[in-house]
Amino acid sequence: MVRPLGLPFDPIERAARTWEQRFGPAASMRAATSVFRVQQILLARFDEALKPHRLTFARYEVLVLLTFSRTGQLPLKVIGSRLMVHPTSVTNAIERLVGAGYVERRPNPADGRGVLAAITDAGRDVVPLATEALTGQDFGLADVGEGELDTLFDILKKVRLGAGDVADD
């Protein structure tokens, strides 16, 4: 669980006031710093919910992606691309999932050097339990109103579009 700061003031707002005095407008800095702090909070909430299932959020994402695939298996390169993470992160997640019995590594018949990650029955069994743990806490966003979630997504998508993550609709 993320450690509550318990401060009588918002350190991001205080930093923004100092920023404005020294550097000028602080709206972008304040928003970016808030996004980073919220990421810390969400990851801590996810990992706490998933810990009883021997998962982190990164490993959970791999399992869900494998359940979404037609055959329950994907090349590691595809997993990295779909989850937008570095190949080293994929390798680490797969190794941990193999150790937990949730995934098997298989040779890729289409690529002699490539490796497929294949979800096991144990992996398929844990996905609904882990999903319930996350949805039970509204993916850590219970503090945000239902009507605000789409707005939040749309705002953050603008940053993703600007970075070239996806094509603009």
Average pLDDT over residues 79-98: 94
User: Quick one: CATH architecture of 54-135?
Assistant: Orthogonal Bundle (1.10)
- Local confidence band at 152 (pLDDT 50, 70, 90 cut-offs): very high
Give the per-residue pLDDT at 111: 83
Average pLDDT over residues 18-22: 97
Contact at 8 Å (CB) between 76 and 90? yes
Domain coordinates in residue numbering, the chain:
9-53, 54-135
Average pLDDT over residues 127-153: 95
pLDDT at 1 over 70: no
pLDDT at 26 over 80: yes
Beta carbons within 8 Å of 115's beta carbon, 6+ residues apart = 75, 76, 105, 106, 107, 108
